[in-house]
Amino acid sequence: MKNRLRRYDTSVFFLFIAPWIIGFTLFFLIPFGTSVFYAFTDARLPGAVDYDFIGFSNFQEMLNNPTFGKSLLNTLYFVGVGVPVVTAGMLLLGLLLNMNVKGIALYRTFYYLPTLVPIVATVIIWRLVFNSEFGILNAGLSVFGIGKTDWLGSEGLIKPVIILLQVWISGSGVLIFLAALKNVPKHLYEAVRIDGASRLRAFFTITLPMISPSILFVVIIQTMYNFQMFTEALLLTKGGPNYAAYTFVYNIYKSAFTDLQFSMAMAQSIFLFAIISLVTFVLMKLSNRFVYYEGEK
C-alpha cells in the first residue's frame, strides 16, 4: 500500500517537472547530441542529409583556418585583460556606492541604468560618444589638450574600448559586490580600528577576504562572458578594424553563416566548450586556497 502511494507520488512529481524534461531534452540534449555528431562529418548546412564521416578533420582544419589564431588571441586578450579590469571596476564602484551618505540610493539607480540599455542602443550611444569628429569624448579631452583620437578605428584601442563598455554596463556585478559589502560584520572593522590599522589595511585584511566568495563568483561569470565575447564586437565595428576585435565566437558565427560550414562551426563550439569548462574548473580549484567561506573551519 505504502509502496503504491509512493510510486503514485513519484509519477505526480514527474508530471510537475514534465515541462522541464521536455525542454531539456528538446532544446539541449537533442541539439547538442546531433551537433557533436555533426562535428565529425562534412555537413555544410544545418539540414544536410548527404554527408560523410571525416573523423577529426574539422578539428585539424580549424587550426589551419586563417582567422582562427587571431580570433583566439583576441579572445584571450578579453579574458586576460578584460576580466581583471572589469572585476576591479565593479569592486571599486561597489565600494563607492557602499559609502554612507544621504541620497546614495539615487546614485545607485543612475549607475544601474546603463545595464538596462539594450545592447544595440548601447552601441549606438557609444558610437555617438566615441565618434572621432563629432563625439563628446574627443571634445571633452581637447579641453585638456589631448588631440583627436580615432577610438573605434584604431587596432590598438578597439579592445580597450569594448572593455570600457563592459564596465559601463557592469551594474549587475556591482549589485552583487554591494550586497556582499553590506554583509561584512561591522564589529570586525571596529576591532582593527582599535589596533590602529589604516583603512587600506582594513580593506585588505577584512573586506577582501570576507567578500572573496563574491569575487570568485563574479570572476567566473566574467570569464565565461569574455570567452564568449561576440555581440559587442559584431555591432560596434564588425570585429574590425583589421580583425582587431574579431573574437572566437565571431569566428564560429562566420564559419556557420558566412562560410556555410556548420560542421566546422560545431567543431569550434566543442573546442570553446572544452576551454571554458577547463578554465572554470581550474578557477574553482585554485580558489579553494584564496576564498574564505564563513562557518568553515
Residue 166 burial (CB count, 10 A):
21
Nearer to other proteins, 60 or 277 (CB): 277
Does 10 participate in binding other proteins (rule CB under 8 A)? yes
Helices (H), the chain: 2-24, 30-38, 57-64, 68-77, 83-97, 104-112, 119-130, 136-143, 158-168, 171-182, 186-194, 199-202, 208-210, 212-227, 231-237, 248-257, 262-290
CB 85 within 8 A of CB 167: yes
Written as nine digits, the cell of 232 is 559587442
Does 198 participate in binding other proteins (rule CB under 8 A)? no
Does 203 participate in binding other proteins (rule CB under 8 A)? no
Binding-residue total with other proteins (CB under 8 A): 84
* Segment 105 to 164, residues that bind other proteins, using CB under 8 A: 107, 109-121, 123-129, 131, 133-136, 139, 142
Does 269 participate in binding other proteins (rule CB under 8 A)? yes
Written as nine digits, the cell of 250 is 565571431
Nearer to other proteins, 207 or 223 (CB): 223
Query: Distance between alpha carbon 81 and the CA centroid of its chain, in Å?
Result: 12
Does 260 participate in binding other proteins (rule CB under 8 A)? no
Nearer to other proteins, 227 or 243 (CB): 227
Q: How far is the CB of 145 from other proteins (least distance, A)?
A: 13
Write the interaction track for other proteins spanning residues 47-76; mark x where CB under 8 A is met and - where it is not: x-----------------------------
Does 272 participate in binding other proteins (rule CB under 8 A)? yes
Q: How far is the CB of 124 from other proteins (least distance, A)?
A: 4
103: left (phi over 0), alpha (psi -120 to 50) or beta: left
